[in-house]
């Protein structure tokens, strides 16, 4: 069940419980179904009937409500936005669940590495120093590529008809319903998500190398940072990663 739907169910049922506690608890109104004034009993019965109806109607409606996917580019403008949408997209047993969890872990790891690198840069160089700016620019490019890849992954997941795919999967992809072309389309979506996720993992590995080189780098004898092996590898990886749209 999607987290958003679970939150709606919890909110609905919590509200029903709170209303009944407020109406029947002696700490609040203390009404009774069989005792008290006519008005009080009427309100008590109305509360029971209406909250019972709300319980069954609301829960059934929410449980049966289809969890539609929509393209998400319009509401994803940062890695934090990606985290929110990934968390909404997780379902139990979904074909993309493992990839989503991996992407969430990658974002967490990137932010941790990013903070560590910036802390080291500020210790070794002045913010207005050219070397600091060059390293910082590379880090900004890395963040942008990871963000673009994450957004592309989200759009592919949103456009993929998970319900249809999993229904066909359960029935063994009957040849009468699934053509070779359709299977190729399914595979392209799935492979895109896995390839983009792998690219992000490669970028994180290069970040570890860059972190090591930054910790060793001395602006007095370090030379041009663009010639550092980790920077060269990162530049090449960034160029290739930008192919993911």
Radius of gyration of the CA atoms of the chain, in A: 27
CA angle (202, 117, 114) in 5-degree steps: 60
- 177/183 Cα distance (integer angstroms): 10
Phi, psi of 219 (to 5 degrees): -65, -20
Q: Write the DSSP symbol of residue 75.
A: G
* pLDDT tens profile 179-232: 888 888 889 999 999 999 998 998 899 889 888 888 877 654 545 666 778 778
Cβ count within 10 A of residue 31: 21
Q: What is the pLDDT of residues 88-114, one digit of tens each?
A: 777 656 788 899 999 999 999 999 999
Q: Which tokens is 136 given?
A: 């910082």
Please count the helices (runs of H) and the strands (runs of E) in the chain.
8, 0
Whole-structure pTM value:
0.65
Contact status, residue 119 vs residue 140, Cβ threshold 8 Å? no
Q: Are 157 and 201 in contact (CB under 8 A)?
A: no
**What digits encode the pLDDT tens for the residues 4-26?**
567 788 888 899 999 989 888 88
User: At what angle are helices 229-241 and 130-159 packed, to 10 degrees?
Assistant: 30
Asked whether 117 and 217 are in contact (CB, 8 A), the reply is no
Q: Which two tokens stand for residue 214?
A: 């930054």
**Beta-strand (E) ranges in the chain?**
none
The closest alpha carbon to 117, from 48, 210, 184, belongs to: 210
Tokens of 62: 């929410």
For residue 36, count CB atoms less than 10 angstroms from its CB and return exposed for 0-12, middle for 13-18, buried for 19 or more: middle
Q: Would you say residue 237 has pLDDT above 60?
A: yes
**Tell me, what's the pLDDT at 101?**
92
The pLDDT tens digits of the residues spanning 110-147 come to 999 999 988 888 888 888 888 788 888 888 888 988 99
């Amino acid at each position: 069940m999607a987290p958003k739907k679970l939150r709606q169910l919890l909110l609905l049922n919590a509200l029903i419980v709170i209303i009944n506690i407020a109406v029947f608890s002696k700490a609040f109104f203390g009404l009774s179904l069989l005792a008290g004034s006519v008005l009080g009993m009427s309100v008590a019965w109305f509360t029971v009937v209406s909250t019972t109806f709300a319980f069954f109607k609301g829960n059934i409606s929410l449980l049966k409500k289809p969890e539609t996917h929509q393209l998400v580019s319009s509401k994803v403008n940062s890695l934090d936005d990606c985290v929110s949408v990934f968390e909404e997209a997780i379902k139990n047993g979904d074909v993309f669940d493992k990839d989503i969890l991996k992407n969430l872990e990658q974002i967490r790891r990137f932010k941790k590495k990013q903070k560590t690198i910036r802390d080291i840069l500020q210790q070794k160089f002045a913010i207005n120093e050219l070397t600091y700016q060059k390293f910082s620019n590379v880090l900004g490019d890395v963040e942008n590529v990871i963000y673009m890849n994450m957004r592309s992954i989200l759009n592919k997941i949103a456009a993929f008809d998970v319900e249809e795919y999993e229904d066909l999967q359960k029935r063994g992809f009957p040849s009468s319903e699934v053509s070779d072309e359709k299977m190729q389309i399914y595979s392209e979506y799935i492979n895109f998500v896995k390839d983009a996720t792998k690219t992000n993992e490669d970028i994180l590995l290069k970040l570890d190398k860059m972190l090591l080189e930054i910790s060793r780098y001395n602006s007095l004898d370090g030379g041009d940072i663009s010639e550092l092996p980790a920077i060269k590898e990162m530049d090449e990886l960034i160029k290739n990663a930008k192919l993911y749209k």
